[in-house]
Structure 1
C-alpha cells in the first residue's frame, strides 16, 4: 500500500500530484530548486517542504524532460525512494540518457499524465487534475514488478487511467495530440499580435478555442518541443502538405476557378470532421455524439447557478459546457452539450430558441 511519496518539482503537475496523493492519505514530501515553490505548494496542503526521514515508497520527478536523467541519478544516489517515476511529456531521449548514465532502471517506470493547462506554477495546481485522464506508462527493459505495482497504485490513487506504451510510440503519439497542436495554436495566435484592434475585437469562441493553449510558458514549451523535435516535425510536414493544398484551392476559388478547387477544399474539411469524430468521449457517449443548446445569460453573480438549477429541474444531464464571453458586454453565451433525446425537452423547458447544433 502506498503510504509515502516524494515529489521533486513543485510546478503545476508536481503540486497537483502532491495534492491528489495528500488528499488520499499519502504523506508527501516536496522539493524544488526554487525553495519558495515547495513552500507555496506546502501552504496549499500538498505536503511537507522538507526531506523525508527515510526512503519513501515512490518519488515523482516533475522536472523538464532534459533534466530527468540527471535528477534520477541524483535522487537514486541518496536513496530517496524504493520506486521512481516522472511526468515528463517526452520519453525516448530521457530513457536513452537514463540508460547511458548508469541509473538503476529496475526501480524506474516512466510516466506522463495527459493533463495540464495554460497556467503554470503551484498556484495553478488542482487535486482533481488527473481525474479520468490517461496516464501513459513507459517502462524500461527491466522495470521490476514492485516498481510496476507501486507506480500503478499511484496512477489509480490520483484518479487517472494507465496506458502502457513504448518510448518511441509514446513520443509519436504526443507529437500528434499535444506537441504539434500546441505549436500550431501558437502560430495561429501569433497572427493576432499585430492585427488591427477592430480585427481582434471580432474574436469569438472559435479563435479562443484554437489558440487557448498558446498562453503556455514559451520557455517550457521550447524544451518540450526540442526534446521531441523529430516527431513534431513529422506531424508538421504532413500538415504543411495539407496547408499547401488548402492555399492552392483557396487561391483558385478567389480567381473564380471553381473546377476542382471546391472539391479539394471540401475533401480537406471532411477529413477534419472525420478526424474530430475519432476523439475519445466519455463512456456511454451516444451514437452521433451530442447536440448543443445555446443559452444567453447575464454576467451577474448567480446566473450560472440559476441556469444549472433549471437544467436539473428539467431532468437533463449536462454532458459538457462551454462559455463564450461577450467582450465589453454584460451577457455571455453558454453552450450546453446534451443528448439528442434531451435537447428538445431542455429547449422547451428553458424557453430558448429551438436551434441546436450537433457536436
Structure 2
C-alpha cells in the first residue's frame, strides 16, 4: 500500500524524516561520555537528547501542521534554570543543521534558544482531549531513558490522536533490528546499527521499514491468529512500578514462559508485539493510584491493535486517551490477540482474587 492510499501521506512523510534526524541526535549522545543527565521530580532521568528531540519534533510538526496541538513528556524548566544545560541542548540540535536531510526539509529546527524552550514548554504542559478536541500529536522523545543511558534498546514515539482516538502511530527503534526474533532483551541491540520504524494507520494495518534507506523496503505486519501460541512481553528490571508476585503467576496460569521478552520501554513493548516478537502483556501497578503516562502508549498501542491485538486495562475497560497527561481513567494493561484476551483477563482476575488483592479489581 502506498502512503497516498492512507490519506496520511504528509503525516507519515513528516514523521519518517523527523525520526531519522531524531535518531541521529540520540545516537550522538549515546556515544558521548557525558549525556547531560538531570533527575526529575519522579526520580526518572532525562538527558540532553530528550530535550533536543522533543524540540525537534515539535518544531517540525508545528511547521507542517500549524493548527494542531502538541503533547510531549518534557518541559523546559531545567533548561531555563541552567544556561550550561541549555547551551548543550542547543548545540546538539545544531549538529544536524547542515545535514542533507535537514537541508532537504526533512525536519525544522527552532530559531533560537528561547524559541526552543517555548516549543518544549508548549508540549510539556498540553494534554490530549476527547471528542471535539481535534488533532493532537503526542511525543515521547526517548522512551526507556534508563536503558538508553546503558547503551541498550530505546524508542522514539510519535502518535496522532484525533478527537480522543488513536489514528496514527510511528515508532523509531534506532538500535532495534527488523530481523530480531524473540525473546527480546534490553541488551539485544541491532548489530548492524540500522534500526527500524514500525508504524500503523487506523484501519490500514501496521508496517515496518528500515529507519534509514528506501521506502520500498516496507513490510506489512501479519495479523494475529486464533491458533497462535501466546508469548509474554513484560519488564522485570529497572522498573519498580509493578505489583510484586502477580505477573509471573499469571504467566504460569496461562502456561507461558516468564518473563518472555523482558523490556523496559513501553513503546518498544507495543512495537515488539506488533512485530510478532511477543503477543501478550499484563501490567498491574503496585499502587491503585498509579497511572500510565500518555506519551508511553498513545500511537504505540495502535501498532499492536492494527495486527489484531486487543488492549484493555486490568478491569477490562477500553483505554481512554482523553483523560489527560496521565491515563487516570484506566488502571494497568491487559493485552493479547483479540481471541485470547478474555482468557488472559480472567487469569489476571483469578490471580488477584486468589492472592486477596481485591482492591486492585475495584
> Where is the helix percentage greater, Structure 1 or Structure 2?
1
TM-score normalised by the chain length of structure 2: 0.26
**Relative contact order higher in (CA < 8 Å, ≥ 6 apart):** 2
